[in-house]
Amino acid sequence: MATALPLSPVNHQLCRRSNRFWYKAMSPRFCPPSFLVSSPCCLGVKGIGLSSQLRARHPLISSAASTDYLLHDVGATVAVLGGAFALVLLFDSLTKRDVIPQRLSRKLVHILSGLLFVLSWPIFSASTEARYFAAFVPLVNGLRLVVNGLSVSPNSTLIKSVTREGRPEELLKGPLFYVLALLVAAVFFWRDSPTGMISLAMMCGGDGIADIMGRKYGSYKIPYNPRKSLAGSISMFIFGFFISIGLLYYYSSLGYLHMNWETTFTRVAIVSLVATLVESLPITDQIDDNISVPLATILAAYLSFGY
pLDDT for the residue 46 = 39
Those residues with Cβ within 8 angstroms of residue 74's Cβ, 6 or more apart along the chain or in another chain: 133
Examine the pLDDT at 8 and tell me if it is beyond 70: no
Examine the pLDDT at 121 and tell me if it is beyond 60: yes
Identify whether residues 83 and 94 lie together within a single domain: yes
pTM equals 0.77
Examine the pLDDT at 282 and tell me if it is beyond 70: yes
The domain of 257 spans 192-306
Cα gap 166→66, rounded to integer Å:
44
Choose the final residue of a domain: 189, 221, 241: 189
Choose the final residue of a domain: 189, 208, 228: 189
Identify whether residues 269 and 258 lie together within a single domain: yes
Choose the final residue of a domain: 189, 220, 235: 189
Identify whether residues 292 and 229 lie together within a single domain: yes
Q: State the pLDDT confidence band at 170, using cuts at 50, 70 and 90.
A: confident
Examine the pLDDT at 297 and tell me if it is beyond 90: yes
Q: Is 306 left (phi over 0), alpha (psi -120 to 50) or beta?
A: left
Examine the pLDDT at 141 and tell me if it is beyond 60: yes
DSSP structural state of residue 153: S
pLDDT for the residue 58 = 55
pLDDT, the chain, mean: 82
- Does residue 175 belong to any structural domain of this protein? yes
Instruction: State mean pLDDT over 29-41.
Output: 37
Identify whether residues 204 and 145 lie together within a single domain: no
pLDDT for 200-254, tens place per residue?
999 999 999 999 999 999 889 999 999 999 999 999 999 999 999 999 999 999 9
